[in-house]
C-alpha cells in the first residue's frame, strides 16, 4: 500500500543515503584541504536553529541554492541538507592552539 508508513520508510532510506553521501563528501573535502595545506576546525551541521545557521546563510547565495532561513532560524525546504567545515592554514586548531 502506498500509505504513510511507506512514505516514512522511504524517507528514512533517503536520509540514510544522504548521510552516507555527506560522509563521502566530507572525506573528499578534507583530502582536498589537506593537499592545499589546510586543516579543518569543528564540523557543524546547522540543521537546527542556531547562530551557525545565520553564519552559513551569510556566506552563501541561499536563493540561488533554493533555500531560505526562516525568522525562527530554521531552513526551508525542511528536507534541505547542509554542513559547514571551517578550514584554516597550518596545523591544529587556531582556537585552541593544538
Structure confidence by residue, pLDDT tens digits, 60-89? 888 888 888 887 777 787 666 667 778 888
List, in order, residues 6 or more apart from 50 with CB less than 8 Å away: 73
pLDDT (average), residues 20-34: 88
- Cα separation, 75 vs 53, in Å, equals 8
Q: Is residue 45 part of a domain?
A: yes
pTM of this prediction exceeds 0.95: no
Amino acid 91: pLDDT: 61
pLDDT bucket at 58, cuts 50 / 70 / 90: confident
pLDDT greater at residue 47 or residue 85: 85
Alpha-carbon dihedral of residues 41, 80, 48, 88, nearest 10 degrees?
Answer: 10
Among 71, 77, 24, CA closest to 47: 77
| 96 within some domain | no
Residue 94, in any domain of the structure: no
Query: Is residue 83 domain-resident?
Result: yes
**Per the structure, how many domains does the chain have?**
1
The parent domain of residue 61 ranges over 4-89
Q: Which residue has the higher pLDDT, 60 or 56?
A: 60
Average pLDDT of the chain, as a whole number? 76
Amino acid at each position: 500500500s502506498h500509505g504513510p508508513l511507506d512514505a516514512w520508510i522511504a524517507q528514512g532510506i533517503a536520509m540514510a543515503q544522504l548521510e552516507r553521501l555527506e560522509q563521502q563528501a566530507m572525506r573528499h573535502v578534507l583530502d582536498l584541504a589537506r593537499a592545499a595545506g589546510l586543516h579543518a576546525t569543528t564540523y557543524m551541521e546547522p540543521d537546527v536553529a542556531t547562530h551557525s545557521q545565520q553564519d552559513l546563510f551569510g556566506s552563501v547565495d541561499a536563493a540561488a541554492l533554493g533555500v531560505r532561513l526562516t525568522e525562527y532560524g530554521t531552513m526551508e525546504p525542511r528536507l534541505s541538507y547542509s554542513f559547514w567545515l571551517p578550514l584554516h592554514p597550518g596545523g591544529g586548531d587556531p582556537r585552541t592552539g593544538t
